[in-house]
Amino acid sequence: MPVRWTAMLLALALPVGYSHAEQVRFVTEDFPPFTFAATTAPIDTPAGPFVDVIGAVCAQLRIDCPIQLLPWRRALALAEGGEVDGIFTVIRSPERERAFHLTRMLVTSRYGVYARSASRFVFHRPEDLAGRTVAVYGPSGTSFVLGQHLTKVADVELILESDNRRLMRMLQAGRFGEQGVAVVNQDVAWHLIEQERLADIHEAGELQAVSYAIGLSRAAVSEAEFKRFNQALESLIADGTVSRILRRYGLQPAF
């Protein structure tokens, strides 16, 4: 058992007030409104509902849980390799379940299809994307779900972009062509449309619902260690703490 988690389990058996310097390290990405860089001091530290939830869990366990904002590909590689202990936000998929112990789904959102307003495009079903250029942030949970929907759709050019902010700017600028659209998490898209003042983008339709969890690396964290973390999270769900955090950010709990 890793030393940091041994210390954590011992802490649970000691009187209230015991503390130690061990750390359980998390990584995440810039994925507003779920996680983002703080705009107040200290600048560029992670903020958002998932940061607050993990902070509450770690306070209950009396452990230090530093969180680092990284590009998603790097964050995912570190967590899959066990170089850090946890990652968020994570969808439930076979690939993610092989790499991570997953908490229950905490937030429900939706994937939307977005287009330039001048196109007047309306989305009803995946076949409506035939013959179009479809841009998506990836590799990511969004690109994984989109790929599933496109398996039987012919003549689609799929473009993976490095982040959602860049993706939405490129869509407004017409960089994906007259037939170009983007698939983006709905909460993320609304946040970026307002923040970036993207007036020439409209939501053409909804692809599907999606929920997000916290993942703890199977390469670094045992089943018993995950159970301890998850029990603390479940107690905060039961007493309403997690729901209050999510609703403070205007997000819908998944439970």
User: Domain boundaries in the chain?
Assistant: 26-107+211-253, 110-210
Q: What is the DSSP letter of 103?
A: -
> Do the domains at 26-107+211-253 and 110-210 have one common CATH topology?
yes
Give residue 41's pLDDT band: very low, low, confident or very high (50, 70, 90): low
CATH superfamily, domain at 26-107+211-253: Periplasmic binding protein-like II (3.40.190.10)
Widest CA span in the chain: 65
Place of tokens 């990836």: 138
What average pLDDT does range 48-55 have in this prediction?
98
- Could you say which architecture CATH assigns to the domain 110-210? 3-Layer(aba) Sandwich (3.40)
pLDDT digit string, tens, across residues 98-150: 999 999 999 999 999 999 998 989 999 999 999 999 999 988 889 999 999 99
What Rg value do the Cα atoms of the chain yield, rounded?
Answer: 20
- Cα torsion through 52, 53, 59, 61, rounded to 10: -160
Within 13 A of 214's CA, how many CA atoms are on the CB side?
26
216-253: buried (b, 16+ CB within 10 Å) or exposed (e) per residue? bbbebbeeebbebbbebbeebbeeebbbebbeebebeb
Average pLDDT across the chain, whole number: 90
Mean pLDDT of 157-168: 94
